[in-house]
Structure 1
Amino acid sequence: MNLLFRFLLVGVLLIGNHQRVLAARVDTVSINSPAMHKSLKCVVITPDQYGSATSSRYPVVYLLHGYSGNHSDWVKKAPALTALADRYQQIIVCPDGANSWYFDSPLNPALRYETFVGAELPAYVDANYRTLPDRRHRAITGLSMGGHGALYLAIRHRDTFGQAGSLSGGVDIRPFPNNWNIKEALGEEATNAANWERNTVINVADSLRNGDLRLMIECGVNDFFIDVNRALHQKLMQQKIDHDYAERPGAHTWTYWGDNIEKHLLFFQTGFGK
């Protein structure tokens, strides 16, 4: 091995080691929920500069999974997420929401996922990570069930979240009374209609005033949730609620979500910077 080749090899190794040191860190933590008397797993991604700048504080994006998913879905199925945490210098938190639709069930006291994600989890993250601990620097988004959950939680917890998004969100649950375990939390729609009316995003949005939240809503044109997203968009337009709305080519797939999550992080970054 000649001297020049050795020099080049050492340089490549040093660059590789440097990149590894400055890569986002992915941790899985167990967080106690006093409301549900159990611990739930969360993935926490801290950006590359987090470990080297010990006095810096960071905005937080809460990123929710869909039905049948779990806390690890986003980091496993959209692996570019760690690079995006570095690019935008955001802490990204992915909680386990089971198949809850992120409700506090009016029927089952063991299901308190609104309380967990809307209150207990942000309190834990602010206490254990160097966050910017105010609503201006907290955002929440998610896919499918998580898109519903993100808008639902942000609207109901405007003191906690300043921005919210939805990717392919089930933003009106009423057309789907027998799907995705919703009735386990709310009861049969036919006999518990009030629960369904009170806990669907398109109705919860009635309480919004313009400027309460920065909102980004999008859905693929071939998605089975496209009609309910269009209906929510029209309602927000009628209420004169400013929001970003987009329909893009795509369906209810990880290809769509992985390709478009950066748009949400960039949207939030713009809001964090104001």
Structure 2
Amino acid sequence: MKQGMKTAAAAMLLALLGMNAPLAGATTVRVHYPAGKEGIRIVGDKGPMSWSKSVPAQAPDGPVNIWTYTWPDELGEVQMKPILGEGKVAVGGAYKLAAGSKVDIYPFFGAPFGKLTIVKDFASPQLKNSRALRIWLPPSYAENPAKRYPVLYMHDGQNLFDAKTAAYGVEWGIDETMNRLVAMGTVDEVIVVGIDNTPDRIPEYTPCCDPKYGGGKLDAYGAFIVETVKPYVDRNYRTLPGKDTTAIMGSSLGGIASVAIAQRYPDIFSKAGGVSSSFWWNKGALISTLPARVPVKFYLDAGTTDDGLEDTARMVEAMRAKGYRESTDLMFFKAEGGRHNEASWAARVEKPLTWFFPWGSSKQ
């Protein structure tokens, strides 16, 4: 009898849902998109909608482009995707909504290709020099003006997007990798800020002082990123500026720079990637003087061929001893056959990207 009453109540709610009326004890998706006359429809795995049958979302009430759709909590977790008009399905993965939640999503429907813009002669008061910033804007940036994005700051900007500017004629292919992962629904869209290096690359990326190479400008370089680059990016682009949506990553000396900067600024960065990091620097001082655990997720890797694997493994063990937990705030990847070059880094960069920014993890 009780089960029959529950079934009848659910049927009544579903009948109301056909009109998309606001319900008590209901789950709601709010689709932020300037759909105009085409409108927004919803497909999903439960309720009146299915993956082959769409239902209309409620049109915006006023000038704000927010389309809403509601269903009863009895359906449990629901996976859904918005459709523009009659057949343009949103790019990327499905959105998962827990029962009782109210979720805002910011889809896009156009080609999954981001755009690179270059800011020339960007001055650093901390280092008394200048360089270019290479800012990659994700696919939906121009299409969906309501959306804001996490930001990944990367060193050696010349090597990230274009083989013509890369130091050895091979790029990381960050743009192609991000385009592919976004289209597959594997990662959230992210703004990537490539910070070019300068003739002072070695001292800027290192703490003092290696017996052979010197170094020692890392504190000033970190301050440049935190006090000058990040405020500029947050001012001029639609970022999610909080710690939880801000990451830093680099390779080689840029790897130890990323780790050290995140350790110094754990209130700014929640994620740091050290790819083929030069933990040999200054006789392994970064390992032997490792500070107490900070609330940052660290990704570390190294290839098995002339890539400092032993030093990176030592750093990983030192971090575990400080309380970092595997797959929670520490990930270590040993790249079989990997070498100390851009081709190897390009081949595995999706690992930190996927761990840092999994699909559906960024909230605004």
Q: Same fold (TM over 0.5)?
A: yes
Query: Does residue 1:174 correspond to 2:282, yes or no?
Result: yes
Q: 1:227 is aligned with what amino acid?
A: E
Contact 2:150 2:246 in 1 (8 A): yes
SS class of match (1:52): coil
User: Considering only aligned residues, what root-mean-square deviation do their CA atoms show, in Å?
Assistant: 2.8
Query: Does residue 1:102 correspond to 2:205, yes or no?
Result: yes
TM-score (norm 2): 0.56
> Which structure: greater helix fraction?
1
The counterpart of 1:80, out of the listed 173, 177, 185, is: 173
Deviations 1:235-274 (CA, angstroms, capped at 9, x unpaired): 1122221211111111112221010111111111039817
- For the residues of structure 1 that align with 2:216 and 2:300, how far apart are their CA atoms? 30
- Quote how far apart the aligned CAs of 1:126 are: 0.7
Q: 1:74 is aligned with what amino acid?
A: L
* Equivalent residues in 2 for 1:209-224, closer than 5 Å: 209=294, 212-224=295-307
SS class of match (1:51): coil
Name the counterpart of 1:13. Answer: none
Deviations 1:42-98 (CA, angstroms, capped at 9, x unpaired): 111001100111121000111223xxxxx2111123363213333241101110233
Unaligned segments of structure 2, at least 5 residues: 1-108, 163-169, 210-214
Contact 2:172 2:345 in 1 (8 A): no
Farther-moved stretch of structure 1 (150-159 vs 221-230): 221-230
- For the residues of structure 2 that align with 1:230 and 1:160, how far apart are their CA atoms? 26
Query: Does residue 1:59 correspond to 2:59, yes or no?
Result: no
Name the counterpart of 1:14. Answer: none
Name the counterpart of 1:185. Answer: none
Name the counterpart of 2:87. Answer: none
- For the residues of structure 2 that align with 1:255 and 1:137, how far apart are their CA atoms? 27
Name the counterpart of 1:236. Answer: 319
- For the residues of structure 2 that align with 1:43 and 1:25, how far apart are their CA atoms? 10
Higher relative contact order (CA 8 A, sep 6+): 1
Q: 2:279 is aligned with what amino acid?
A: V
The counterpart of 1:201, out of the listed 286, 291, 307, is: 286
- Identity of counterpart residues, as a percentage? 22
Query: Does residue 1:260 correspond to 2:355, yes or no?
Result: no
The counterpart of 2:357, out of the listed 248, 262, 269, is: 269
SS class of match (2:290): helix
Change over 3 Å in CA distance of 1:258–1:110 after alignment to 2: closer
Determine which structure has more spread, i.e. the larger CA radius of gyration. Answer: 2
- For the residues of structure 1 that align with 2:221 and 2:129, how far apart are their CA atoms? 12
Q: 1:102 is aligned with what amino acid?
A: Y
Unaligned segments of structure 1, at least 5 residues: 1-18, 66-70, 176-196
- For the residues of structure 2 that align with 1:239 and 1:110, how far apart are their CA atoms? 23
Change over 3 Å in CA distance of 1:251–1:22 after alignment to 2: closer
SS class of match (1:120): helix
Farther-moved stretch of structure 1 (221-230 vs 264-273): 264-273
Name the counterpart of 1:183. Answer: none
Name the counterpart of 1:163. Answer: 271
The counterpart of 1:247, out of the listed 334, 340, 353, is: 334
TM-score (norm 1): 0.74
Contact 2:205 2:218 in 1 (8 A): no
Contact 1:97 1:113 in 2 (8 A): no
Contact 1:104 1:114 in 2 (8 A): no
SS class of match (1:119): helix
- For the residues of structure 1 that align with 2:242 and 2:218, how far apart are their CA atoms? 29
Name the counterpart of 1:225. Answer: 308
- Quote how far apart the aligned CAs of 1:205 are: 2.9
> Which structure: greater strand fraction?
2
Farther-moved stretch of structure 1 (246-255 vs 123-132): 246-255
Contact 1:152 1:204 in 2 (8 A): no
- For the residues of structure 2 that align with 1:82 and 1:91, how far apart are their CA atoms? 10
- For the residues of structure 2 that align with 1:152 and 1:208, how far apart are their CA atoms? 12
Q: 1:264 is aligned with what amino acid?
A: P
Contact 1:141 1:150 in 2 (8 A): yes
Contact 1:45 1:85 in 2 (8 A): no
